[in-house]
Structure 1
């Protein structure tokens, strides 16, 4: 039976870095954010539905994520309307990924809003990626187009880091060196009885 591992954590905590380390160790990855970007890009399956529900957010055949974010962040009803469009499509893509890798010993699922959407029950183990608020803020504000107001809006809709850590099977603190983070990944793989490298 394939072990299903969820990787989650708030924005700027280092999920992508940690996910890449698991991939280096031979674990196949389903990246929910990357899938959403694909579905919202030119020719993507969600472009028409988003254009119809959120007029003006599609530019040159692709969803403009900044325009869409400005429309839904801070508005619970608009965000819920977007989730009704996006979540079923991502769940279908995830099911296809699982089927394509049904013989793998383990699969990793990068899902930023795992706890917020009540999705943790679908997984055997949950890993939370964490760092201090200062490190998180510095990382996120260094991103192109990010503002303090936008950061605060994103944080407001995410479960607090402490709550995520408390619900995790494993916590990886990315506030130290990359070598420390890699050691944590290796330790978790060993704990789960999985190969620690290719």
Structure 2
């Protein structure tokens, strides 16, 4: 099994690369998706969040009110740390379960947005960084996601720098061009990953 960490700055195109790799046969473990699953209604995770933050972070139907919780934690590092202390271990346990379920010859791709920021590179056999220039990221966030320029710049500034991400990369997928240019590069990377998995 080859454990791959996949990361990239907001708007770099990491989700697209994830989708392509899964299409080629990678076992995809998406940290963001798991983070949502572990706080669904009825889970111990949601109960722990309510115990920590109060019932005010729930919607009328008992699901987590993400915007409301976000407003609390993103303006207060201590509250964010409290939330992470609940969610991160649960994500870790679920990720490990999914990894164990993959076959011994699998290429397991962990899609981890904050891999660089949280110093997680050593957990993987290989780190793949989806890289785009800040200008490209800004353009995509404004044009495709409807953010204002100041919102986009704030989100980008909250993440690791391009240089920090590139420093932890074993393989870099450049994604400043159109989608058509991305697929051949991802295919090359996939063949490199499967080669390494087969070599053990």
TM-score tier by shorter-chain length is 0.7 to 0.9
Q: Which residue of structure 1 lines up, in the alignment, with residue 53 of structure 2?
A: 54
Q: Given that residues 3 and 110 in structure 2 are in contact (C-alpha distance below 8 angstroms), is that contact kept between their aligned partners in structure 1?
A: yes
**Matched pairs, number:** 193
- Segment drifting more, 122-131 vs 51-60: 51-60
Q: 1:53 to 1:140 in 2, by over 3 A?
A: farther
Q: Distance in 2 between matches of 1:31 and 1:135?
A: 24
| SS of equivalent to 1:79 | helix
RMSD between superposed Cα atoms in Å: 2.1
Deviation at 1:153, TM superposition (A): 4.5
Q: Which residue of structure 1 lines up, in the alignment, with residue 145 of structure 2?
A: 143
Q: Which residue of structure 2 lines up, in the alignment, with residue 6 of structure 1?
A: 5
Deviation at 1:18, TM superposition (A): 0.4
Q: Within 5 Å, give how 1:179-194 maps onto structure 2.
A: 179-192=180-193, 193=195
Q: Which residue of structure 1 lines up, in the alignment, with residue 37 of structure 2?
A: 38
Q: Distance in 2 between matches of 1:80 and 1:18?
A: 29
| SS of equivalent to 1:7 | strand
Q: 1:125 to 1:82 in 2, by over 3 A?
A: same
Unmatched 5+ stretches in structure 1: none
Taking structure 2 as the reference length, the TM-score comes to: 0.87
Q: Distance in 2 between matches of 1:112 and 1:45?
A: 24
| 1:154 and 2:155 correspond | yes
Q: Given that residues 7 and 130 in structure 2 are in contact (C-alpha distance below 8 angstroms), is that contact kept between their aligned partners in structure 1?
A: yes
Per-residue deviation, residues 121-164 of structure 1 (Å, max 9, x unmatched): 110010111212232123334436x5556544433432112210
Q: Which residue of structure 1 lines up, in the alignment, with residue 77 of structure 2?
A: 76
By percentage of residues, which structure has more helix?
2
Q: Distance in 2 between matches of 1:116 and 1:54?
A: 25
- Segment drifting more, 64-73 vs 84-93: 64-73
Unmatched 5+ stretches in structure 2: none
Deviation at 1:76, TM superposition (A): 1.5
| SS of equivalent to 2:38 | helix
Q: Given that residues 116 and 164 in structure 2 are in contact (C-alpha distance below 8 angstroms), is that contact kept between their aligned partners in structure 1?
A: no
Q: Distance in 1 between matches of 2:69 and 2:141?
A: 19
Q: 1:131 to 1:76 in 2, by over 3 A?
A: same
Per-residue deviation, residues 16-74 of structure 1 (Å, max 9, x unmatched): 10001001111110000011111223334421111222232221222122222211113
Q: Given that residues 43 and 61 in structure 1 are in contact (C-alpha distance below 8 angstroms), is that contact kept between their aligned partners in structure 2?
A: no
